[in-house]
Amino acid sequence: MNAMVLKKIGTELEWTELADPHPGPGEIRVKVSACGVCRTDLHVVDGELPDQKVPIIPGHEIVGRIDLVGAGVEGLSLGERVGIPWLGHTCGVCPYCRSGHENLCDHPIFTGYTRNGGFATATIADARFAFPLGETGSDVALAPLLCAGLIGWRSLVIAGEGKKLGLYGFGAAAHIMAQVAQRQGRSVFAFTRPGDVATQAFARQLGAIWAGGSDELPLEPLDATIIFATVGELVPRALKAVRKGGRVVCAGIHMSDIPSFAYQLLWEERQLVSVANLTRQDGVDFLRLAPAMSIVTKTTSYPLRQANQALADLRAGRFEGAAVLVP
């Protein structure tokens, strides 16, 4: 197999030939057909997450077909198309796993972070954490659903049922959640980098009723906002944008420091929460819902060998929607 490997934190990924991996008990080997590029991959490359091990193959929005099945795997078959998400494994016995909060597991394994991911021609996954994808939709179009979609969905659920929803950072996750929120009868307000009129136009195209810079406020207070961008300064701004009792959800795994702010911004029962990872149930719920809602992803494809270019373009905001690597 071949993979784009992070050998040293802060350096470019290297095209590398590796021995074909073999699935252990309970595992599957998947021939990768597409893998989305997520902001978390940038955090991995930059060494911004705790205890980053190298070498590692990033990538956790994997679509592919099973080409080897390990002992004891049930419910999945050779040739079946599956999606492999960020949550790669949980312990099953910690208090979080036992109470339906496996997203908070004390001993998790994460795809493309603590186990090899999908910037590769093949990967190994714990079969219980792979989602059957069926045959509807292209591999490339489905890939961004595996993280931008799933963690976006968890964030949207945690944002509550308010009708006026703000989205800070209109990238891969927001462009999917804007569609979901509208199908649910909500109005979407999109906040981008100040002056980023191209992304604001993209948000309006996708039905946002208001789009502006993150330094602006819409005329009416919002019920909830989700911050997908990794910029801590957005937290006080988002609190300013929500009504009394409104909720601000931080959806990123990493964020720059949040500046201090007046208590008045939180007062009147405004809530500030974060979302971590996903549960398998989030995946089942969202992957059932996305086709029924006719969610369309906007993607830019890159050959696997150009993973560094895709990461650089993501960092610079050079495309709308999501980047997807194709081996």
Residues at the interface with Zn ion (CB under 5 A): 38, 40, 90-91, 94, 97, 105, 147
Nearer to Zn ion, 118 or 246 (CB): 118
What letter represents residue 169's amino acid? G
Spatial distance between the Cα atoms of 267 and 150, rounded to a whole number of angstroms: 31
Shortest Å distance, C-beta 204 to Zn ion: 25
Nearer to Zn ion, 97 or 124 (CB): 97
Which of 296, 304, 287, 303 is CA-nearest to residue 320? 296
Nearer to Zn ion, 37 or 239 (CB): 37
Nearer to Zn ion, 105 or 177 (CB): 105
Nearer to Zn ion, 105 or 211 (CB): 105
- Phi-psi sector, 26: left (phi>0), alpha (psi -120 to 50), beta: left
Q: Spell out the residues 6+ positions from residue 320 whose beta carbon is closer than 8 angstroms to its own.
A: 175, 198, 199, 202, 298
β-strands 271-274, 210-213: how paired? unpaired
What the block records as the tokens of 135 is 């045959």
Nearer to Zn ion, 38 or 238 (CB): 38
Which DSSP state fits 220?
A: S
Nearer to Zn ion, 105 or 307 (CB): 105
Spatial distance between the Cα atoms of 247 and 205, rounded to a whole number of angstroms: 26
Shortest Å distance, C-beta 2 to Zn ion: 22
Shortest Å distance, C-beta 88 to Zn ion: 12
Nearer to Zn ion, 92 or 194 (CB): 92
Spatial distance between the Cα atoms of 81 and 179, rounded to a whole number of angstroms: 25
β-strands 27-37, 322-326: how paired? antiparallel
Shortest Å distance, C-beta 60 to Zn ion: 6
On whether the CB atoms of residues 192 and 214 are closer than 8 A, the answer is: yes
Shortest Å distance, C-beta 91 to Zn ion: 4
Shortest Å distance, C-beta 106 to Zn ion: 5
Spatial distance between the Cα atoms of 188 and 168, rounded to a whole number of angstroms: 11
Shortest Å distance, C-beta 20 to Zn ion: 26
On whether the CB atoms of residues 133 and 203 are closer than 8 A, the answer is: no
Spatial distance between the Cα atoms of 154 and 158, rounded to a whole number of angstroms: 6
Shortest Å distance, C-beta 96 to Zn ion: 5
CA dihedral 73, 76, 82, 87 (to 10 degrees): -40
